[in-house]
Chain A
Amino acid sequence: MSTETLRIVWIYPDLLSTYGDRGNVLILARRAQQRGFRVEVLEVRSDQQLPTTADIYLVGGGEDGPQALGAQRLLADGGLHRAVAQGSVVFGVCAGYQLLGTSFFAKGTQYRGLELLDLSSDRGPTRAVGELAGDIDARLGLPPLTGFENHGGRTHLGPGVSPLARVTAGIGNDGASEGAWRGKLLGTYSHGPALARNPALADLLLRWATGAQQLPPLDDTWSDRLRAERRTAVAAARA
């Protein structure tokens, strides 16, 4: 953290906020505040310049047109690349995850991505819609991922990234792996308010941003109940 205040940037809510992506901003801010951090949230619209010194950058989901436009603006702006070079945390969701890679498809055309993660996305044979669950990379020390996915893409990981999780329900990248991470950059197909169902993932991003080895536990009664209910629902659907 470069200053006393944790700075969270929500990238282009005018373009990339289709599925309750605001939830991730709200959850990160709240969980940081509950640990005594001062938090500043900046919503940066696509006609504004991206600040380069924030601690966490969030890139959300979006329809094809806004996704292509968002990637084009981020490439032209260059701010996110400078922030990453300085060690900022980036969390990408769905369309926001795809555009962190080298290329993605929107409206039948291949677009250049930000090349921040070694992965590329194309179109799958079917749309992936439904519950998504997976066991997260053991090195990250997190409980299983739970979420909802809704995307037409398939994502192929290069050697420069690790999968975020091994899929136990749903499709994720390709039916086997889900999401990707490298350093302090992390992306997932668990769309919208992914952190609502995965508070431990929110805390991982906060630890990366603050350098804290551990954060005091919080009362997660309601998210624990939600996670248990979803786990049961996914198991019942499979039985």
Chain B
Amino acid sequence: MPLRAKVASSVSRTAAALSRAAGRGDGSVIGGWIGLKIDPDLLAHLSAGRAIALISGTNGKTTTTRLAAAAVGVLGRVATNSFGANMPTGHTSALAKAGSTPYAVLEVDEHYLAQVVEATEPHVVALLNLSRDQLDRAKEVAMMAQLWRAALVRHPDIRIVANADDPMVVWAATPPATHDQRITPPHVTWFSAGQRWHDDSWVCPECGSTIQRSGEQWWCTGCPLRRPEPQWTVDDEGVLDPTGAWYKVKLQLPGKVNVGNAATALAVAAEFGVRPFDAVPRLGDVTSVAGRYAQVEREGRLVRLLLAKNPASWLEAFDMAEQAPTLLSINARDPDGLDTSWLFDVDFAPLRGRQVLITGDRAYDLAVRLEVNDVPFQHVRTFDDAVRAVPPGRLEVIANYTAFQDIRAELDRVN
């Protein structure tokens, strides 16, 4: 590593440690920010000599990154940005902090995938899904798929692990010349992790015709784009690998969604030569991910935190939550997106019959939504009020990004 990069890396680690010591955060952004100021190529320098996997998509990337890092860990030490700091500053911090490791598994914000691919020259890129998320400032879904495709088409040497169930992902993963999906390009491996949310992929990104669905199949009515045959699939609490072997996956993380994330993690690890047989037990050791799914005892209530940032991830959170009193908290600060319109894209009906409490900066938007949805609710001012309003036992908390961080801070930054 050039001297400038060594200095930058060292200063980056020190800044991150200072930030943590000062109680200002995880230190996972500030360190990388300072390091990149000293050496703009620091991320590339820190990446050199490592076999790297990048994991991107709208939802599930933090959890899938944690699971994939656990799976690749079979082979040796793995650097990873486990605090969800998923932009180049976070990647730089994570690699600087980890020191020399043979492997790295990095979660990448979908907007930064092209840039991080260029800087890190990854061995494998996993594409999870694309759906509407913070549309007031984020790129529209079709535009994002176009950016992914443009970035990946320049690197046919990179292995791609992609979700066969999401038309936008399939299109982004496949070079233009081979968009007849009956011919899978040799560098692409398809997985099927299911897709509950279909409302962003009714229009073909290739030709603009309608996409039709029947069961798990989908196809464009105007061009050859269609669901490719996945090599990795999910089946009753287990994962089928490309040879047809079935592995029972016993996770501590809730919901079918996470079995899908586990399948993705196994597919990523397999690209490094990890056998599912060796990786599966490690997936069961993962208990919570940057506070997501964390369980904390508070005044006799067992509080569990679920993060839901956009319509697709709310559907998944309802699948994970138990039939128990549930607190919903909504903010609309910058990291959340300023627009709450998406609340009407979520059907809250699964919450009927549970005791529902609402809080957060934008609780009134949620109140109007729940009223129309025939879901009775009670508005509380604070998290503590919510805890006291429910009987002893489980309290499920579903919150969007900054609301989740607010509650996590109340619970002493639980991980």
- A15: B residues at CB distance < 8 A: 202-203
Q: Total interface residues on A, using CB and 8 Å?
A: 33
Tell me if A65 and B203 are in contact (CB < 8 A): yes
Given the interface contacts A14-B210, A193-B341, does A226 sit within 8 Å of B136 by beta carbon?
no
Given the interface contacts A26-B372, A148-B339, A192-B341, does A225 sit within 8 Å of B364 by beta carbon?
yes
Kindly identify which residue among A14, A23, A26 contacts B341, using a CB–CB cutoff of 8 Å.
Answer: A23
- Interface code A15-28, partner B: CB below 8 Å = 1, 0 otherwise? 10111111100110
Residue in A closest to B346 when the chains form the complex, CB atoms: A20
Tell me if A22 and B364 are in contact (CB < 8 A): no
Judge if B21 is at the interface, Cβ distance under 8 Å: no
Judge if A115 is at the interface, Cβ distance under 8 Å: no
Tell me if A226 and B372 are in contact (CB < 8 A): no
Judge if A47 is at the interface, Cβ distance under 8 Å: yes
- B199: A residues at CB distance < 8 A: 17
Tell me if B344 and A18 are in contact (CB < 8 A): no
Bound-complex Cα distance A129 to B339 (A): 9
Judge if B132 is at the interface, Cβ distance under 8 Å: yes
Judge if A102 is at the interface, Cβ distance under 8 Å: no
- A193: B residues at CB distance < 8 A: 341, 343-344
Given the interface contacts A63-B140, A222-B364, does A27 sit within 8 Å of B339 by beta carbon?
no
- A226: B residues at CB distance < 8 A: 364-365, 367-368
Judge if A87 is at the interface, Cβ distance under 8 Å: no
Tell me if B202 and A18 are in contact (CB < 8 A): no
Q: Give the A-B pair count, Cβ closer than 8 A.
A: 84
- Interface code B201-230, partner A: CB below 8 Å = 1, 0 otherwise? 011000010100000000000000000000
Bound-complex Cα distance A27 to B141 (A): 27
Tell me if A69 and B202 are in contact (CB < 8 A): no
Tell me if A26 and B344 are in contact (CB < 8 A): yes
Tell me if B136 and A129 are in contact (CB < 8 A): yes
Q: Total interface residues on B, using CB and 8 Å?
A: 28
| Residues of chain B in range 127-143 having any CB-CB distance to chain A below 8 Å | 132, 135-137, 140-142
Nearest CB of B to A50, in Å = 16
- B141: A residues at CB distance < 8 A: 63
Judge if B371 is at the interface, Cβ distance under 8 Å: yes
- A148: B residues at CB distance < 8 A: 136, 338-341
Nearest CB of B to A151, in Å = 11
Given the interface contacts A148-B341, A191-B341, does A129 sit within 8 Å of B137 by beta carbon?
yes
Bound-complex Cα distance A47 to B345 (A): 22
Indicate the member of B136, B140, B344, B345 with the most A CB atoms within 10 Å: B344
Judge if B342 is at the interface, Cβ distance under 8 Å: yes
Indicate the member of B203, B210, B365, B372 with the most A CB atoms within 10 Å: B372
Judge if A168 is at the interface, Cβ distance under 8 Å: no
Judge if A150 is at the interface, Cβ distance under 8 Å: yes
Judge if A40 is at the interface, Cβ distance under 8 Å: no
Given the interface contacts A129-B136, A192-B341, does A225 sit within 8 Å of B210 by beta carbon?
no
- A45: B residues at CB distance < 8 A: 210
6 inter-chain pairs at a CB distance below 8 angstroms, sorted by A residue, are A17-B345, A23-B369, A129-B338, A192-B339, A192-B344, A197-B368
A: which residues have CB within 8 A of B? 14-15, 17-23, 26-27, 30, 45-47, 63, 65-66, 69, 129-130, 148, 150, 191-193, 196-197, 222-223, 225-226, 229
List the 5 shortest-distance A-B pairs measured between CB atoms, nearest first: A192-B341, A20-B344, A23-B344, A20-B341, A226-B364
B: which residues have CB within 8 A of A? 132, 135-137, 140-142, 199, 202-203, 208, 210, 338-345, 364-365, 367-369, 371-373
